[in-house]
Every structure is written in structure tokens, then in C-alpha cells.
Amino acid sequence: MDDDTSDFGSFYEADNEDETNTIINMSYKVLVPVKRVIDYAVKIRVRPDKTGVETANVKMSVNPFDEIAVEEAIRMKEAGFASEVVAVSLGPKTVQETIRNSIAMGADKGIHIETGTADLQPLGVAKVLKKLAETEKPNLIILGKQAIDDDANQTAQMLAGLLNWPQATFASKIEVDKANNSVKVTREIDGGLETLSMKMPAIISCDLRLNEPRYAKLQNIMKSKKAELKVQTPQDLGVDISNKIKTISVEEPAKRSGGIKVDSVDQIVQNLKKHALI
Amino acid sequence: MLLNRITKSNFININKSCLKNYFCSVSSGSSTTTSTTTTTTTANLLKVKRDDRFSYLNKDDISVFKKIMNDESGVITDADDLVGYNHDWMNKYHGNSQLVLRPKSTEQVSQILKYCNERRLAVVPQGGNTGLVGGSVPVHDEIVLSLQSMNKIHEFDSVTGVLTCDAGCILESLEQYLEPRGFTVPLDLGAKGSCQIGGNAATNAGGIRLLRYGSMHANVMGVEAVLADGTIVDCLSTLRKDNTGYDLKQLFIGSEGTLGVITKLAILTPAKPTSVHVALLSCDSFDEVKKLLIEAKKQLGDILSAFEFMDRSCIDVVLEHQPQAREPFDSKFKFYVLLEVSGFNEQHDNEKLNSYLEDVISRKMVADGTFASDSKSIAEFWKLRETITESLGKAGAVYKYDLSLPMDQFYNIVEVMKERLAGKNNSMVCGFGHVGDGNLHLNISTPKQKYNKEFLGLIEPFVYEFTSKHNGSISAEHGIGAMKTEQLHHSKTNSAIQLMRSIKQTMDPNGILNPYKVLPN
């Protein structure tokens, strides 16, 4: 396919037997990873020790792009393409709320990978998802293009590399071709729109214009609270999520200094000269 | 020199478009058209003659003011610059003031009023000019006394939460000051980007948080005001409890600028909630709305921060005129309730709200619903409620009424008006508002039509008489202003109005403060 993911492909061999099995298998399963992030409207404050951003007592929500991914998966189910939608999230117990939100929207099952307070990085997440792909055997993995906390935009691509599956990122339209076991994805790129076709299993990352997520119905929200989630740890899956990257410090950008008021054009010129601007 | 060229009219126009997007509470009274300019003055619209007692402004007066003000920019006489001060944000009320003064201190306000009192020059105190009843603009040629240059925050006590500031501080700027300190202004309304706290106090502004924090009467701890004769009355106490003599600040609060000019305020501010959740519910009868309200008070009591309602017509109007809005549920329902809880413990609030929702679902009080904790969805739910006014305005002429009614008659007036106006002028009757406070915004829209006097005759005085019969208020939160002076008697007895007149006479014997407003002629 078009995207070259050989950088990672050389480290991890794809299991070709899986591909054959998927074509014979008629039930389409969609795996949707969702991330719990700081709500976009919150005014971010850096911790005094500069190790990161303040998250205590701060409003958290589902990553907007991930919500779009969940919505797309559910629409596939409603259109008759997918038979099962599984939502998965990594993090402490609190991420279960995010998984339940996805179930309230229409996902069938939820998996919580308990990682406690571990600092998760895209590569670690991708490794866990690779293992889940091997056990859950989805036909499609749909992710949000990036998380609004780190803006990394890496997990989908790394996962594709690890699994050696085709990928289409920044999807603004997805069309499933069940007969040919393939999916046509229109993606937003700098030059305009690019349309790719790829055989499943495949990985898609979603962009803003793909869809507008539905409001979960009250009854479904209530039901989702009682839904049983499958809880596992990275150790259970035999995956090492330790970080290869160390954060040295996190700082706020330099504050804008206030302007000064002047009384005449001459003063403007004077000040501009003083600050070596003219 | 450069600064003077940025005219006030440009500034007001920007504010107007901001307001059109964010304004939540609705105006009341006779009518509003969507045309942007009209040459009808308030005087002609309301048939109010100029009071002979008042003198006409002359050149000597302007020299005196210039001396008091000490700063050229504080004295505005240029015709272009006067425009914005002379009309209200709905562009409905137009006055003919020849002079705007923008004092920078209480002392200047005092000197201005002392002089005006001696010269018998009428004055209109003006804050953010966001009122809906024509109370903040001149009717004839009254001098506009703008508080906009008095906008300093003086003090904040983080233990008591009392904030002391000038009357000209814009509500939103106070919120921005308080937010990093963990506090919030106890009132919230759509006009927050333009309205000033002094005006909020003078009009006893309501808004969407009144349910939780109470009115300005409850939250203002102290007031510094200037009387008509220039006397500075310093009641700027920051104390929570002070029972020493008559509580004079309460006279100024809600007086709409007719008893004195508020120059400083001390407000009690609550801690800013850290966890907010909003539920959007639907039901098929108003009885269910009432039941939801009762249960909300019982089960969510301490964390309940807003309870608004809107009927189906409102949703239809919003969907028609707001491109971003979408049908919240799969089916259409007769009533929608927007319920907000805010607190300081996310888990605790979540659990409480969940129990409430489980309860009302099991007791079949809700037809459908959804709830959200993320800002994006919360903002979308609020937009459904807050863009009703703007959408109605886009549709055509709107006849707006801001009423307080007892709960058993609350929605009846909407049904009664629907029947009364059935088939006439293609009209649509909408009901929405702060049902948690017993405050209904009754809006009658005549899509694609202009204001029509005959149609108005079918509505007034019927609506006021209905309200009066059920001991309701003909102006729940918007005040009387210039618009409803002749309707005051529907909600206040003659003896009450007489007492108001005596108080006015005592405090402003020459009647120079905001004449033609509040009290009927």
C-alpha cells in the first residue's frame, strides 16, 4: 500500500496467517482506543516542580478525536458493516469512565489496561495495542489522529508499523467495501484531499470533519455504569511499556509583557527606537 | 490624539455583535424589530414629553464640566461619538443627549451632580448599556453620565471572598480577576462581556445563577453612591453582617439609577466550583418539568446551580437559525430542561447526579435525556438555551415578556396566548426561562413580519392583566426602565407606588436622576 512503515516493520514481523483468517471471518470487529485527557477548556497550569502539568482536581474528558473514532465505529455497526465495537483505554482506574462513555454511545465491550501512574508514551501504547490486536483480532483499529494533551500524532502510525498493517491517517471520510474486504479512506492533507484504498485488517486515524459524535442517551449512560469491563495489566499481556524518553522539564511559554500607553506620535517613535525596533 | 479617533460607536457595534451571539436572558415589554436603524426616538415611541423643569445645556455648562473633568477625553460632545451612548443595544430606544461625561473618580461624579442639581440639568447614569427596557439611555436630552472610566479593582479578601471595585468594572473582567484566585462572580448573564457591575447592582440583575447564589440584594455587602445633590454616601462596608440602622445600600440596588449613582461596590464572591455537569432532559408535559424541579431541589439541593426550561417552539427556532445547533434527541418532545450542577468534588457530584437521573428515569418523569461533563457538550447544551433570543430576533418581530408567575399558572399563559393568537399573523408563541426561579420569558414571534400595533393590541394589556390577576410580576428581572412605567401598577399597589414617590422626592427633589424612568408620570 501507499504508506511506507518499514522503519518499524524491520523490528517486528507481521503475522501473515492472521490476514488470511480475517478474510474468511465474516464478523467485523472494530477496536477503538480512547484516551482520557485534560478537558480542552481548562486553563493549563504547570506544576511548580516543572515535571509536568497540573492534573489534580482538573476536569478530564475523552479526547475529542477519539470520540469521533468511537462514533464512526458505531455508525459502521449501524450500517451493518461492523458486528462488534470494542473500546479500550490505558491508564489509572479513572479512565474507566471514558470507556463507559464509549459504551454509552454504543460500543459493545470495554477493556481497561491498568497502568497506574505510569507515564504513557505513544510507543508504549502502540505496543499494548499490538498485543490486543493479536488477542482481540479486530478487522479495523480506528483511533483519533492525536491526543490534545501531547499532540503527538504517533500512536496510529507506530501501531501500523508494529503490526505491519496498512494505515490511512487524518480520515475525513470512510467507506467500507465488505465484498472486497477493503476500506476506502479520504484523508485531509496539506494539498487537499487524498483517497486511499486498503485491504483489512487496517488502521485508520480520524480527523475533525469525519463526523459529529452523538449525545449518549441517558438510559444507555445509566446502563454503561453497570457494564463489566475487562481489566488487564501490561504485564498480563507481556508488554514492556517503560519509557525510552525522559521528560526533563515542562515550562510555560514566556509571558507577554504589557504594552505601554504614550501620548504622542513622537513618543511612539522614541519608544520604537529605544527598543531597537526601528 | 490617536485615542480619540477610536469612536465609541465602533466600540458599541462590536459589543452588539458579541451580545447577539451570547445574550441569554430575554427582554420584556412591547416589541422589538430586527431592523438595525430607526429614526423614532424614545420620546416619540413612548409619547413622553420633555419635562419643563429641566434646563437646556449651554456652552458655560460645558466649560464647567471640562474644568471638573480635567481631561478632554472625559467630555464628549462630538455627534459621531455620542451615537453609541444615545441608543440601547437593541437599537430600539433612541435619545438625544448632547453631552457624555466620563468621570474617573467619585469626587468628580459628586461635583458633576452637584452642578447639575443646581442648574436643573437632567442626568442618565449609564453602565454597559446592555439593559432591555430603555433604562440606560436618554429619552430627551439628558446628559449621559458614563461610569466606564471608573473600572479599578480595589481590594479582594480571600478569606471572606469580598471583592471591592469601581462600578464601571465589566463583569467578565471581574470574573477573569477572580478565576485564578479560585472565586467567581455570583451572577452570570449573556451580556457579561459588556455589562458593568454598577449597572448590574442598579438593576438588581438576575441571570442564570440566581438559583444558586441569590440576587444582587443578597450578594452586595456595601455600596458607595452619590446622591443627586452631590453628597457622597459611603456605605462601602465589606462586612457580611452589619445591622446598624437602615440598610441604605438596598435602596440603590434595583433603583435603576433613579435614587443615586453607584460608584463603588463590595460584593461577596463564592468559591469557583471545580466540577460542572449538565443534563439535558425532555418531557411531554409541564407537570413533569415541575416534578423534575422538585426532585432536583430535594436530591441535588446544594450542588444545583441552574434549572432552565424551553418548549418545543424554542428548539425549532434555534435549529432554524443556528447553523451549528442540532436536534438533541431522536424524537421531538414538548419540553426540554437544562439542569446544571456544580461543586467541588467531581466524584461526589457525579454520584449525586447519577442517583437523581436514575430516580427520575425509573419514575418515568423523563422521556429522553443526555448528560455531559466535558466542556464541549456542556457549551452545546447551553447554546440551545442561550441562542433562543438571537434566533427569535432573526426570525422577525418579537414581542417579549419577562414575567414572574406562580407555578400553577406558569405555563398556562403560554397556552392561553397560543389559543388567543391562533391563526393570527402566522405567530408562534414560545415559553422558556429560569423556571427554577419562577421566571418565564414569554416570546411571541411573527416570522418575516415587522412590528404591528394591532397585533400588539391582542397581547397587551391582556398579558399584564393576566399576570396581575395571579399576583405575578410584569418584570421579573429586566426592570421598568422607560418601557414599563405605565405597567408598574399591574404589579405594585398604589400605596406602594406612592411610597416610592416619596422616597424619590426625598432623595432627588429636583428629579434630575434618570427622569422618565421607573415611576409613572
Residue B160's CATH number: 3.30.465.10
User: Residues B325, B380: one domain?
Assistant: yes
Within-domain flag for B54: yes
Residues of B within 8 A of A222 (CB-CB) are 354, 357-358, 361
**In angstroms, rounded to a whole number, what is the distance separating the alpha carbons of residues A208 and A196?**
18
A144 within some domain = yes
Nearest Cα residue to B507 out of B194, B180, B255, B157: B255
8 Å CB contact of A215 and B276: no
Predicted pLDDT at B33 = 40
Q: Is the dihedral of CA B161, B162, B163, B168 positive or negative?
A: positive
Task: State the CB neighbour count (10 A cutoff) for residue B347.
Answer: 10
- What DSSP string describes B310-330? EEHHHHHHHHHH-TT---SSS
**Which chain A residues are within 8 Å of B282, Cβ to Cβ?**
none
Quick check: is A2 in a domain?
no
What's the average model confidence in pLDDT over B110-120? 97
**Do B313 and B394 belong together in one domain?**
no
Put simply, the answer to whether B274 touches A212 (Cβ < 8 Å) is: no
Element at A196 (helix H, strand E): strand A192-199
B274, B328, B354 member nearest A215 (Cβ): B328
Q: How confident is the model over B319-339, as a mean pLDDT?
A: 94
Give the residue numbers spanning the domain of B40.
20-146
Residue in A64, A221, A225 nearest the CB of B376: A64
Confidence of residue B191 (pLDDT cuts 50, 70, 90): confident
What's the complex ipTM? 0.79
CA distance A255 to chain B (A): 16
Q: Are B249 and B282 in contact (CB under 8 A)?
A: no
Q: Give A130-151 pLDDT, tens digit per residue.
A: 999 999 999 999 999 999 999 9
Q: How many residues does chain A have?
A: 278
CA–CA dist B100, B178 (Å, integer)? 31
Judging contacts by C-beta atoms under 8 Å, the chain B residues touching residue A40 are 375-376
Domain that holds residue A203: 17-274
Is A103 contained in some domain? yes
With respect to residue B515, please indicate whether it lies within any of the assigned structural domains. no
B1 pLDDT band (50/70/90 cuts)? very low
What distance in Å separates residue A147's CA from the closest CA in chain B?
15
* Mean pLDDT computed over A13-19: 48
Tell me, yes or no, whether A241 lies in a domain.
yes
* Residues in chain B closer than 8 A to A57 (CB atoms): 274, 346
Question: Is residue B358 predicted with pLDDT exceeding 90?
Answer: yes
Q: How far is B105 from chain A (nearest CA, A)?
A: 20
Partner-chain residue, chosen from B180, B279, B374, that has the shortest CB–CB distance to A39: B374
**A153 within domain boundaries:** yes
According to the model, what pLDDT value does residue B11 have?
38
The answer to whether A215 faces chain B, any CB pair under 8 Å, is yes
What is the pLDDT at residue A11? 37
Contact at CB, A265 and B2, closer than 8 angstroms? yes
Q: Are residues B306 and B188 in the same domain?
A: no
Tell me: do B365 and B406 sit in the same domain. Answer: no
Query: Does A184 have pLDDT greater than 80?
Result: yes
**A46 reaches B (C-beta below 8 A):** no
> Which of B479, B494, B515 is the C-terminal boundary of a domain?
B479
The CATH number of whichever domain residue B309 belongs to comes to: 3.30.70.2190
Under 8 Å between Cβ of B133 and B514: no
In a domain, A10, yes or no: no
Whether residues B84 and B39 share a domain: the answer is yes
Is the confidence at residue B131, as pLDDT, over 70?
A: yes
Last residue of a domain, one of B146, B166, B186: B146
Averaged pLDDT for residues B504-518: 97
Q: Spell out which residues of chain A touch residue B377, defining contact as CB-CB under 8 Å.
A: 215
pLDDT band at A26 (very low <50, low <70, confident <90, very high): low
pLDDT bracket for residue B39 (50, 70, 90): low
High-pLDDT (> 90) share of chain B, %: 81
Distance CA B163, CA B220 (A): 10
Q: What is the percent of chain B with per-residue pLDDT over 70, rounded to a whole number? A: 93
Residues 6+ apart with CB under 8 A from B347: none
Strand boundaries in B227-381, DSSP class E:
232-235, 261-268, 275-283, 304-311, 335-343, 368-372
- What's the pLDDT at B5? 40
- The DSSP annotation for B40-95 comes to --HHHHHT-PPPTTSPPP-HHHHHHHHHHH-SGGGEE--HHHHHHHHB-TTS--B-
Q: What is the maximum alpha-carbon separation in chain B?
A: 75
Residue A177: phi and psi, rounded to 5, are -115, 90
| Residues B401, B340 share a domain | no
Q: Is residue B288 part of a domain?
A: yes
Average pLDDT in the B286-295 region? 96
Q: Report the C-alpha gap between B172 and A144 in whole angstroms.
A: 35
Nearest-CA distance from B279 to chain A in Å?
Answer: 9
Is A264 at the interface with chain B, CB within 8 A?
yes
Does the distance separating the beta carbons of A62 and B374 come in below 8 Å?
A: yes
Amino acid B36: pLDDT:
40
Q: Is residue B174 part of a domain?
A: yes
Question: B194-228 pLDDT, tens per residue?
Answer: 999 999 999 999 988 999 999 999 999 999 999 99
Cβ-Cβ contacts under 8 Å, A64 against chain B: 376
Please tell me the distance in Å from A60's CA to the nearest CA on chain B: 7
**Residue B13 pLDDT level (bands cut at 50, 70, 90):** very low
Q: Which of B276, B376, B381 is the mutation pick for testing A, counting most A CBs within 10 A?
A: B376
Check CB contact of A56 with chain B, cutoff 8 Å.
no
Q: Which residue has the higher pLDDT, B27 or A105?
A: A105
pLDDT computed for residue A57 by the predictor:
79
> In chain A, how many domains are there?
1
Over residues B484-511, the mean pLDDT reads 96
- Range with lowest mean pLDDT among A73-82, A125-134, B67-76, B136-145: B67-76
Q: With respect to residue A265, please indicate whether it lies within any of the assigned structural domains.
A: yes
Closest to A129 measured CA to CA, from A111, A146, A117, A145: A111
**What local confidence, expressed as pLDDT, does residue A33 receive?**
98
Which of A2-11, A50-59, B32-41 has the lowest average pLDDT? A2-11
Question: CA B426, B89, B464: angle at the middle one, nearest 5?
Answer: 50
What's the average model confidence in pLDDT over B398-405? Answer: 93
Q: Do B91 and B44 fall within a single domain?
A: yes
Give the closest of A212, A216, A218 to B357, CB-based. Answer: A218
Q: From the list A39, A58, A218, which residue is nearest B369 (CB)?
A: A218
Q: Are residues B248 and B330 in the same domain?
A: no
Q: What is the pLDDT of residue A264?
A: 87
Mutate to test the interface with A, among B362, B373, B378, B384 (most CBs of A within 10 A): B373
Out of A261-270, B7-16, B396-405, which region has the weakest mean confidence (pLDDT)?
A: B7-16
- Contact list, A218 vs chain B (CB under 8 Å): 279, 281, 357, 361, 366, 368-371
State the nearest Cα–Cα gap between B509 and chain A, in angstroms.
43
Please state, rounded to an integer, the average pLDDT across all residues of chain A.
89
In one-letter notation, the amino acid at residue A216 is A
Burial of A258 (0-12, 13-18, 19+ CB in 10 A): exposed
Say yes or no to pLDDT of A225 above 80: yes
A215 vs B354: CB contact, 8 Å cut-off?
A: no
pLDDT at B345 over 60: yes
The residue with cell 426592570 is B479
Q: How many inter-chain contacts (A to B, CB under 8 Å) are there?
A: 59
Mutation target to probe the A interface, by most A beta carbons within 10 A, among B374, B375, B377 is B374
Average pLDDT over residues B486-497: 95
Is the pLDDT confidence value at B3 over 70? no
pLDDT for residue A9 is more than 70: no
Q: Is the pLDDT of residue B66 over 50?
A: yes
Q: What is the CATH number of the domain that holds A71?
A: 3.40.50.620
Asked if residue B507 belongs to a domain, the reply is no
Tell me how close the Cα of B275 comes to any Cα of chain A, in angstroms.
Answer: 7
Grouping H, G, I as helix, E, B as strand and the rest as coil, residue B369 is strand
Contact A61 B376 (CB under 8 A): yes
Rounded to a whole number of angstroms, the distance from the CA of A221 to the nearest CA of chain B is 8
Q: Cα–Cα distance between B138 and B481 in angstroms, integer? A: 11
B373:A59 CB<8 A:
yes
Helix axes B388-395, B8-22, angle to 10 degrees: 110
Among B384, B408, B438, residue at a domain's last position? B384
DSSP designation for B253: T
Q: Tell me: pLDDT of B45 over 90.
A: no
Picking from A57, A58, A222, the nearest residue to B358 by CB comes out as A222
Residue B16: pLDDT band with limits 50, 70, 90: very low
Note whether B92 and B108 are same-domain residues.
yes
CATH of the domain at B39: 3.30.43.10
CB contact under 8 A, A222 and B354: yes
Domain shared by B112 and B181, yes or no: no
Average pLDDT over residues B104-117: 97
Q: Which residue bears the cell 527598543?
A: A275
* Chain B residues interacting with chain A (CB cutoff of 8 angstroms): 1-2, 179-180, 274-276, 279-281, 326, 328-329, 346, 354, 357-358, 361, 366, 368-377, 379
Residue B327 is assigned to a structural domain of this protein: yes
Hey, of A34, A36, A40, A59, which one would you mutate to test binding to chain B, going by the most B CBs within 10 A of its CB? A59
* CATH value at residue B452: 3.30.70.2740
Q: Would you call A222 and B328 a contact, using CB atoms and an 8 Å cutoff?
A: no
Looking at the complex, does the CB of residue A64 fall below 8 Å from at least one CB of chain B? yes
Residues B79, B103 share a domain: yes
In chain B, % helix, strand, coil (3-state, to 5) comes to: 40, 20, 40
Structurally, chain B folds into a number of domains equal to 4
| Nearest-neighbour CA in chain A from B480: distance (Å) | 38
Residue A4 reports pLDDT greater than 90? no
Residues B230 and B205 in one domain: yes
C-beta atoms of B368 and A217 within 8 A: yes
Sorting pLDDT into bands at 50, 70 and 90, what band is B167?
very high
Interface list for A 144-163 with B (CB within 8 A) = none
Rounded to whole angstroms, how far apart are CA atoms B233 and B143? 22
pLDDT in tens, A36-45: 999 998 888 8
B120 dihedral zone (left: phi>0; alpha: psi -120 to 50; beta): left
In a domain, A12, yes or no: no
- Interface touch A61/B368, C-beta < 8 Å: no
Task: State percent of chain A over pLDDT 90.
Answer: 69
Q: Is the pLDDT of residue B15 over 60?
A: no
Position A55 scores a pLDDT of 86
Q: What is the pLDDT of residue A260?
A: 78
* pLDDT exceeds 70 at position A25: no
The pLDDT of residue A214 is above 80? yes
As a whole number, the mean pLDDT across chain B is 90
